[in-house]
């Protein structure tokens, strides 16, 4: 079978399974839609269910092609038997589009559908799609389901969309997954148009739908293995369902709304707001109409929880943090460091290159370079949508836009505006005067067409650039297209060639792991990655800075436990200890297996301060606060008279004191002043660092020329004890010997 | 009735806030690491910047001592440096250097000759003061992987210090072999 056809069938099979699941679900919920709505709602609600089914299969380690095939066929057959017609009422949606608007809609929608379809069908080259979205999907398929992954924070995010990708990927690989996301891109404007008709403003529906559909960012995101357009589609469908429920208050609508609200969270954490939105709107409507609140709210909340709980439980069981990789201070764990989370959150709020938040409107609509994509210049007219406040529907739309944009400040990338975009677009459609609407739509469509948009957007703006017919139909070999469009693809294949199966490669930068079966351990994606990065940077750090020893001396005495307490007030900067040594006289006490070590915070890394090497260290991995400590219990009274901490100067303004436990629970301060001395680092630290990395199961290292340590590793490779295996496209792959 | 519906919510919250990765009460000291055996391998590589920690190890003669991390060093009469290349194939000698304005006033245009293992590789004419970059492919027969590769760079005119007769050539920044 031609590869392109296989891909199409795989995506179609996934979408069909979603629709079938949706038909069955909506039948159980006893809700009926107007003609023209039923398929859309079946697809979106069914996607939620099918995603949950795939989750269950992956959790049961049944993520296999054969199982997926059987499950998909079963659900389709069941829907054909029991789901047909049952969800569709005989009524049709009023009013229809006028003939001129039908032409406008058909031409714009058709042209962009051709553009998007061939891009979605072409080999997947998107930055996140070819790295973690599909990298994890490929891994789940290889391992037949979920395994405990602690080395990638992206594996901890909710992955409702990835579950649909997984199903499609099993049959059609990367492009099939992208096509599934494209199905949401197709569904969204059709749902918006249907909504416009339902509220009696078909023209507004068409305007809003085309503003979203032709938007360059919605397009490029929707044809990639991402999830933002799916989130926008689900949130809009939720809004639409609640609109219907307000006129037809049957509990089935609320169950469906609850599932969709929860599915929003399952797709992306930032869509969690769907749950309070749904509960708030239901509660407000019931309260205003003086109807009972509890049962409908409990139904909505319980259905939302059904979709949310599996993801929270997975993280809770495996990582100890139900909302990993966030809230690590509330749910402490060794897998995501608090300092990383804080730095990551800061970077998401302040994209490099963004001069000020005043630059966001132009960047998000026209330039698109700094915030990774642009919506199209037409959205500079978004304030026009405020005129829709005159109508009830307009107020509802703008309220939803406001709620779903609330998370935007947490990540100012343009993609994070997409959940609010359908509501803003419809409000613009409602507000636009009769003469203005077609002009707005046509101007937006022309300005968004790739050959036009390239004239005003930033050179590196993320966007659809052309129609890759040849690549989509696989007349151009996938390898060639991928090597041209995704420069790091070649590296992934080089890794596949040089690294044996199950080999782990440490990388400092995103690499398309969707195209290699080897595990890539990215230094910033996990606690382990952070630690390995810290170890490899230690020798160079100590080339530039001396090793500093803090020696606390006190009269000899027998103690059961020793504790070094940090007493300085909260301040930026961390506290760390490379080695914690205890003395009696001139002799250092030999570390014994009966000793017990504790630390607060970050108790998991305390052994690193007692392993007799300077390349590792215990770090607080969060800003200093008073009360941090390292503690050593001897198990029996032990005579000691000095404690020496070996550190490097790269830490906060710590103030330390040594305490001893003289009786159970009774602590006495032994010393508050230390004699600080400095010395040159010992030899062979580079080699020691490599051995520490190897001891943690990593035998390969990939460095891009832009990585800060690349030159150091290349020039000093003999001292590190590493061998170059390949030098491809500005990156070097090393083996740690 | 209403408050009963809140029980599951309370249970969920209780479960959530009991989260957190289980931390062992305490750890025993880990296996004690030892210094890796053997001596520090030769720090000479195939390319060096004058600011590198190991730059001195590459210098055979006639390059001013560093130690302050400065990226530039004066060369004298006949500077010579040594390199260790891993492969003889597709190597190019790259030299980045500067003709200083002060010395140029006395010397005028300078030509610098570059030799690899005693064989003349090429010349760089420097008609005015400023930065220069010499880059030229080196035939594989001139190189070896079992011993040092020696590179000399000699200016045809030198600035002579009036006080002690010291002869300064050019200011060296980066030198070595790249592929």
Interatomic CA distance for residues A132 and A521, integer angstroms: 11
pLDDT at A304 over 90: yes
**What mean pLDDT is reported for chain A?**
94
- Range of lowest pLDDT (A158-172, A664-678, B38-52): B38-52
State residue A86's pLDDT score.
58
Give the residue from chain A lying closest to B54, CA to CA: A716
Q: What is the mean pLDDT of residues A480-500?
A: 94
A694-706 pLDDT, tens digit each: 999 999 999 998 8
Which residues in chain A have Cβ-Cβ distances shorter than 8 Å to B26?
Answer: 596-598, 633
A522-559: pLDDT as tens digits: 999 999 999 999 999 998 888 777 889 999 999 999 99
* Residue A220 tokens, joined: 């490029």
What's the confidence (pLDDT) of residue B67? 59
Nearest to A25 by CA among A56, A10, A47: A47
The average pLDDT across A188-207 equals: 95
Question: Which residue intervals of B17-81 are DSSP H helices?
Answer: 55-58
B165 touches chain A (CB under 8 A): no
Size of interface A-B (CB pairs under 8 A): 112
- Cβ distance A633 to B28 less than 8 Å, yes or no, reads no
C-alpha distance from A679 to closest chain B C-alpha (Å): 17
Residues belonging to chain A:
737
pLDDT exceeds cutoff 90 at A306: yes
Residue percentage of chain A with pLDDT more than 90: 85
pLDDT at A34: 81
Three-state DSSP at A676 gives strand
Asked if B36's CB is within 8 angstroms of A687's CB, the reply is yes
List A residues 305-364 in contact with B (Cβ-Cβ < 8 A).
305, 312, 316, 319-322, 331-335
What's the pLDDT at A339?
Answer: 93
Strand, helix or coil for residue A382: helix
Give the pLDDT of residue B9. Answer: 64
Q: Do B20 and A333 touch (CB under 8 A)?
A: yes
The structure's pTM equals 0.85
Every domain of chain A and the residues it spans:
3-453, 492-532+684-736, 547-679
Radius of gyration, CA atoms only, chain B: 29
d(CA A700, CA A111): 47
Q: Euclidean distance between the first and final Cα of chain B, in Å?
A: 78
Positions of chain B with pLDDT under 70: 1-9, 11-24, 39-43, 67-69
pLDDT value at position A432? Answer: 79
B30 touches chain A (CB under 8 A): yes
Q: What is the pLDDT of residue B1?
A: 45
Judged by average pLDDT, the poorest of A50-59, A158-167, A342-351, A409-418 is A342-351
Any B CB within 8 A of A597 CB: yes
- What is the rounded distance in angstroms from the CA atom of residue A7 to the CA atom of residue A21? 21
Report how many helices (DSSP H) and strands (DSSP E) chain B contains, helices first. 3, 11
The answer to whether A148 and A136 have CB atoms below 8 angstroms apart is no
Q: Which residues neighbour A656 within 8 Å (Cβ) at sequence distance 6 or greater? A: A550, A552, A564, A565, A566, A567, A645, A674
CB A138 within 8 A of CB A492: no
How far A309 CA sits from the closest chain B CA (Å)?
10
| Side-chain-side CA neighbours of residue A12 (13 Å) | 7
For residue A510, pLDDT over 50 is answered with: yes
Kindly identify which residue of chain A lies nearest to residue B85, measuring between CA atoms.
A715
Q: Kindly indicate the confidence band of residue A188, based on its pLDDT and cuts at 50, 70 and 90.
A: very high
Q: Which residues, including other chains, have CB under 8 Å from residue A118's CB and lie 6 or more apart?
A: A467, A468, A469, A472
How many other β-carbons are positioned within 10 Å of the β-carbon of residue A348?
14
Q: Tell me the two tokens of residue B21.
A: 């990765």
Q: How far is A595 from chain B (nearest CA, A)?
A: 6
Q: What is the pLDDT of residues A168-180, one digit of tens each?
A: 999 999 999 999 9
* Shortest Cα distance, chain B CAs vs residue A719, angstroms: 5
Determine the residue of chain B that is closest to A332 in CA distance: B20
Highest averaged pLDDT of the listed ranges A70-74, A388-392, B69-73: A70-74
Residue A35 has pLDDT above 90, yes or no: no
Chain B residues whose CB is inside 8 A of the A713 CB are none
Q: Which residues of A touch B42 (CB under 8 A)?
A: 718
Q: The tokens of A441 are what?
A: 């739509």
Lowest mean pLDDT, pick from A80-84, A498-502, B20-24? B20-24
- DSSP letters spanning A331-342: S--SSS-HHHHH
Q: Which residues of B touch A688 (CB under 8 A)?
A: 33, 35-36
């Amino acid at each position: 079978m031609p590869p392109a056809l296989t891909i199409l069938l795989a995506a179609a099979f996934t979408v069909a399974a979603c629709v079938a699941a949706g038909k069955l679900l909506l039948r159980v919920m006893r809700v009926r839609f107007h003609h023209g709505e039923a398929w859309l709602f079946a697809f979106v609600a069914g996607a939620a269910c099918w995603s949950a089914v795939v989750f269950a299969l992956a959790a049961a380690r049944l993520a296999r092609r054969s199982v997926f095939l059987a499950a998909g066929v079963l659900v389709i057959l069941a829907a054909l038997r029991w789901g047909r017609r049952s969800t569709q009422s005989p009524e049709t949606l009023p009013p229809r589009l006028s003939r001129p608007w039908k032409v406008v809609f058909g031409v714009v929608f058709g042209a962009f559908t051709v553009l998007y379809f061939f891009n979605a069908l072409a080999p997947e080259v998107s930055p996140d799609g070819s790295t973690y979205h599909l990298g994890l999907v490929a891994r789940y398929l290889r391992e037949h389901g979920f395994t405990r992954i602690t080395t990638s924070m992206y594996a901890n995010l909710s992955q409702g969309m990835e579950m649909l990708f997984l199903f499609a990927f099993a049959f059609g690989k990367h492009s099939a997954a992208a096509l599934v996301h494209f199905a949401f891109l197709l569904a969204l404007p059709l749902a918006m148009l249907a909504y416009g008709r339902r509220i009696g403003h078909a023209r507004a529906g068409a305007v809003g739908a085309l503003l979203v559909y032709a938007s360059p960012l919605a397009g490029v995101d929707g044809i990639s293995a991402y999830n933002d357009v799916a989130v926008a589609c689900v949130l809009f469908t939720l809004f639409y369902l609640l609109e219907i429920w307000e006129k037809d208050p049957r509990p089935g609508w609320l169950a469906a709304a609850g599932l969709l609200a929860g599915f929003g969270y399952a797709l992306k954490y930032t869509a969690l707001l769907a749950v309070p939105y749904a509960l708030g709107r239901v509660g407000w409507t019931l309260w205003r109409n003086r109807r009972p609140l509890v049962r409908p709210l409990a139904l909505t909340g319980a259905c939302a929880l059904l979709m949310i709980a599996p993801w929270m439980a997975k993280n809770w069981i495996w990582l100890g943090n139900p909302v990993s990789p966030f809230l690590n201070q509330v749910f402490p764990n060794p897998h995501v460091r608090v300092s990383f989370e804080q730095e990551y959150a800061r970077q998401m709020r302040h994209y490099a290159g963004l001069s000020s938040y005043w630059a966001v409107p132009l960047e998000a609509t026209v330039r698109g370079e700094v915030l990774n994509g642009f919506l199209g210049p037409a959205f500079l007219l978004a304030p026009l949508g405020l005129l829709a406040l005159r109508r009830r529907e307009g107020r509802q739309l703008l309220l939803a836009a406001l709620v779903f944009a609330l998370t935007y400040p947490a990540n100012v990338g343009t993609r994070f505006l997409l959940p609010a975009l359908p509501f803003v677009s419809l409000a613009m459609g409602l507000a636009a005067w009769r003469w203005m609407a077609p002009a707005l739509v046509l101007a937006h469509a022309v300005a968004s067409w790739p050959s036009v948009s390239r004239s005003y957007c930033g050179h590196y703006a993320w966007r659809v650039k052309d129609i890759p017919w040849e690549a989509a139909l696989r007349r151009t070999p996938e390898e060639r297209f991928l090597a041209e469009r995704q420069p790091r693809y070649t590296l992934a294949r080089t890794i596949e060639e040089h690294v044996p199966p199950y080999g782990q490669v440490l990388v400092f930068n995103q690499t398309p792991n969707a195209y290699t079966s080897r595990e890539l351990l990215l230094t910033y994606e996990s606690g382990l990655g952070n630690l390995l990065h810290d170890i490899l940077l230690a020798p160079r750090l100590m080339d530039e800075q001396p090793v500093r020893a803090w020696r606390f001396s006190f009269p000899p005495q027998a103690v059961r436990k020793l504790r070094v307490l940090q007493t300085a007030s909260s301040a930026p900067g961390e506290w760390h200890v490379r080695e914690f040594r205890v003395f009696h006289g001139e002799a250092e006490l030999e570390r014994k297996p009966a000793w017990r070590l504790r630390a607060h915070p970050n108790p998991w890394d305390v052994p690193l301060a007692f392993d007799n090497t300077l390349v590792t260290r215990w770090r607080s991995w969060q800003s200093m606060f008073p009360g941090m400590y390292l503690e050593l219990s001897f198990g029996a009274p032990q005579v000691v008279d000095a404690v020496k901490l070996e550190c490097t100067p790269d830490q906060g303004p710590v103030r330390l004191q040594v305490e001893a436990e003289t009786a159970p629970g009774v602590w006495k301060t032994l010393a508050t002043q230390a004699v600080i001395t400095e010395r040159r680092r010992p030899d062979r630290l580079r080699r020691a660092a490599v051995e520490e990395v190897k001891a943690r199961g990593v035998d390969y290292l990939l460095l891009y020329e832009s990585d800060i340590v690349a030159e150091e590793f290349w020039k000093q490779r003999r001292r590190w004890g590493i061998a170059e295996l390949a030098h491809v496209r500005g990156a070097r792959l090393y083996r740690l010997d | 009735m209403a408050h009963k519906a809140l029980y599951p919510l309370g249970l969920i919250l209780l479960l959530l806030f009991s989260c957190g990765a289980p931390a062992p009460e305490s750890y025993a000291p880990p296996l004690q690491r030892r210094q890796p055996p053997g001596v520090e391998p030769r720090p000479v590589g195939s390319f060096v910047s004058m600011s590198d920690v190991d730059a001195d190890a590459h210098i055979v003669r006639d390059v001013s001592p560093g130690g302050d991390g400065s990226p530039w060093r004066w060369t004298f009469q006949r500077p010579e440096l040594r390199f260790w290349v891993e492969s003889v194939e597709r190597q190019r000698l790259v030299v980045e250097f500067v003709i200083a304005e002060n010395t140029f006033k006395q010397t005028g245009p300078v030509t610098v000759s570059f030799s690899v293992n005693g064989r003349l590789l090429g010349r760089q004419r420097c008609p005015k003061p400023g930065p220069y970059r010499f880059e030229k492919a080196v035939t594989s027969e001139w190189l070896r992987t079992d011993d040092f590769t020696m590179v000399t760079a000699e200016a045809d005119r030198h600035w002579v210090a009036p006080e002690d007769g010291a002869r300064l050539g050019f200011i060296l920044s980066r030198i070595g072999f790249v592929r």
